[in-house]
Amino acid sequence: MQDNHLSTKKIPPQDRLIFALDVSGAEEAKQLVTHLGDAVTFYKVGLQLFMAGGYFELVRWLIDRNKKVFVDLKFFDVPQTVRSAVHELKKYGVSFTTVHGNDSILRAAVEEKGDLGILAVTVLTSLDQGDVEDLGFKVNVKDLVLSRARRALEIGCDGIISSGLEAAVIREELGDRLIVVTPGIRPVRNIDDQKRTVDVEEAFRNGADYIVIGRPIRQPADFATPREAAESIQARIGALFTP
């Protein structure tokens, strides 16, 4: 296996960091975005904010400020319902959304997506081998991720969500045809519920196109403010992708 699968996609280096905006309300989210300023250009908005209220107003607020948005709601329902959800979402101008499920669910999303990027979920980074077996999958995690990545590519998804631990084998087997978005990034040390984690450089050298980071920026252990944490990560990304 190659030592380096560094992405060659034409993505501005600052856009390769996606900040997981997992806070308890839209106003708190806006304050954090304002504090981060130009240190973050791409935001993931997920289930916590969806349940807190004002979700799509926040999405519009971010886009009005020239931020890119990744809607992470992991659509998982009967195909027609997922198709309808994607139809409604694509009018907001977001960059990515996540879809979970079998081939027919993924296909329904792809057929409706327009310019919206569809990211297929492989295996959550909070799951390890034992968790996968508890769910009834008698297969190695890496094999399961690769199988789901192959299906996503064949169906026409734009990319996948994959741990950095599996990104390299995806690049080896499938090349550069899928966008790989990698959560579970722990820049220094891992003290939370993520199990299959890598650091910034390892994720990109294994083949990630984007990384998703939440708590290490929002609640930094080694920096005085979230902005300082984000700027440090951006510097590390820049060092990898700036000629």
Domain residue spans in the chain? Answer: 13-241
Q: What is the pLDDT of residue 221?
A: 87
pTM: 0.89
Q: What is the pLDDT of residue 162?
A: 87
- Percent of the chain at pLDDT > 90 equals 73
Q: What is the pLDDT of residue 42?
A: 98
Cβ proximity of 93 and 114 under 8 Å: no
Cβ proximity of 146 and 215 under 8 Å: no
Backbone torsions φ then ψ of 10, nearest 5 degrees: -80, 75
What is the DSSP annotation of 216-239?
A: HHHS-SSSSSHHHHHHHHHHHHHH
Could you report how far apart the first and last alpha carbons of the chain are, in Å? 24
Backbone torsions φ then ψ of 95, nearest 5 degrees: -85, -45
Q: What is the pLDDT of residue 193?
A: 44
Q: Residues near 175 by Cβ (< 8 Å), separated by ≥ 6? A: none
Q: Which residues pair with 45 in a beta bridge?
A: 71
Q: CATH classification of 13-241, choosing from 3.40.50.720, 3.20.20.70, 1.10.260.40, 3.40.50.11540? A: 3.20.20.70
User: What DSSP designation does 157 have?
Assistant: -
Cβ proximity of 23 and 49 under 8 Å: yes
**Helix, strand or coil for residue 46?**
coil
Token pair for 182? 């990698």
**Helix, strand or coil for residue 104?**
helix
Q: What is the pLDDT of residue 196?
A: 43
Q: What is the pLDDT of residue 134?
A: 55
Q: What is the pLDDT of residue 197?
A: 58
Residues acting as catalytic residues: 74
- Report H helices in 37-158: 47-52, 55-64, 79-89, 103-112, 129-134, 141-155
- Low-confidence residues of the chain: pLDDT under 50: 1, 127, 131-132, 188-196
Distance CA 211, CA 223 (A): 20
Q: What is the pLDDT of residue 133?
A: 52
Token pair for 7? 């992405």
Q: What is the pLDDT of residue 132?
A: 46
